[in-house]
Structure 1
């Protein structure tokens, strides 16, 4: 994906506020060996629509700055607490020889055709929706596909079951092999035993003795 940025000369709270009032979003581009951070500004509406696309968050982007195109990665977005307003964006320059550490979304497919769902009516719970990997820029995927068509009754899919792109390594924090998705068997409710029919009322005793 490609976007246009413009050089920003002034910084500070007042300058950023004036930019936002003019329909612009302040940002910064950092990283790259021997390169200094660079202040930029972007058209807010174009940026707002781009941020709605998943690929803008997990792909190598082409930034056109003053006619020079460079490869960058979106690193941080600051939103206004309650307004539909992007207050600031951070981009990192991408070096083809340097590995990136990024979060990549997971796309699930095939669960409706799986044995777990078709035969056993399991509910499939997507425990993870993204995963952090270390990868070279050329091998960075927009997403990682998780094929659940082979899911069996009450089974689970772990991180070790994922098919990663070439050279990618998963970065985990905590459990060594966390669950990505799990099939949960439906709970069968037992019918309560029918209530016993009430005993018939005893006939009232006849009073008096025969003469």
Structure 2
């Protein structure tokens, strides 16, 4: 695992997060189990460099201005704007280099599927690993070239990791679950509508209209009826 060094500035309580972002910074906190949370400010460029290089699971040595000691930390939480993608806040977890810790490690698919008509489904994006901070990998590779038939999968317990240093944090049921699986593509069945049914519905819908028109008296019939009524009254 690569060791990355970045520098941060102490953040005063009077400094507002929006103002920090406008000035090209990212508000952050260092969380420790043995002392209060430490408020700091990072450079936006440093944060974006870490994220774009896929090093959000890397061990980071943090130097805070005014303090000579380096603080080993891991990313704990990254808050981003859902619309712009801007990093709003970062939370680090301070770790001890001599104590095991837990971290989510991304999975990277390696190889190619030789059967083009099948669909590869990636079930998990991350796995939780427990290890010493210096032993945590940046990623875990999943070799998929061996998948050739629909229904084949790679289970969580089958991941190739150094079990002398790394421990998968998962239940027995989760260990038997798939990380990736190969499926046949779904085929949608479209039902055809019978032409006879459509024509019958049209004719049936037309009959009430014809009957309705037939029940209405014509102009001549109406005139004759009026004439008979007038003659009767005259008599």
Superposition TM-score, scaled by structure 2 size? 0.67
Give the equivalent residue in structure 2 for 1:65.
64
186 and 18 in structure 1: CA distance in 2 versus 1, 3 angstrom threshold:
closer
CA distance in 1: counterparts of 2:18 and 2:118, whole angstroms: 52
Give the equivalent residue in structure 2 for 1:192.
none
1:163 maps to 2:166: no
Greater CA radius of gyration, 1 or 2?
A: 2
Residue 157 of structure 1 aligns to a residue in which SS? strand
Please list every run of 5 or more consecutive structure 1 residues that lacks an aligned counterpart in the other structure: 190-211
81 and 157 in structure 1: CA distance in 2 versus 1, 3 angstrom threshold:
closer
For residues 53-112 of structure 1, what are the alpha-carbon distances to aligned partners after superposition, in whole Å with 9 as ceiling and x for unaligned? 211x11111212124322110111112343343221111111022222211111111233
Give the equivalent residue in structure 1 for 2:217.
none
Contact preservation (8 Å) 1:76, 1:89: yes
Give the equivalent residue in structure 1 for 2:89.
88
RMSD: 2.6
Instruction: Map residues 33-182 of structure 1 onto 2, 5 A cutoff.
Output: 34-55=34-55, 57-66=56-65, 67-112=68-113, 117-118=114-115, 121-154=117-150, 155-165=152-162, 166-172=164-170, 175-176=173-174, 177-182=176-181
TM superposition shift of 1:174: 8.9
1:3 maps to 2:13: no
Please list every run of 5 or more consecutive structure 2 residues that lacks an aligned counterpart in the other structure: 189-235
TM superposition shift of 1:21: 2.5
Contact preservation (8 Å) 1:111, 1:124: no
* Bigger proportion of residues as helix: 2
Contact preservation (8 Å) 1:75, 1:91: yes
Superposition TM-score, scaled by structure 1 size? 0.74
Contact preservation (8 Å) 2:129, 2:136: no
Moved over 6 A (4+): none
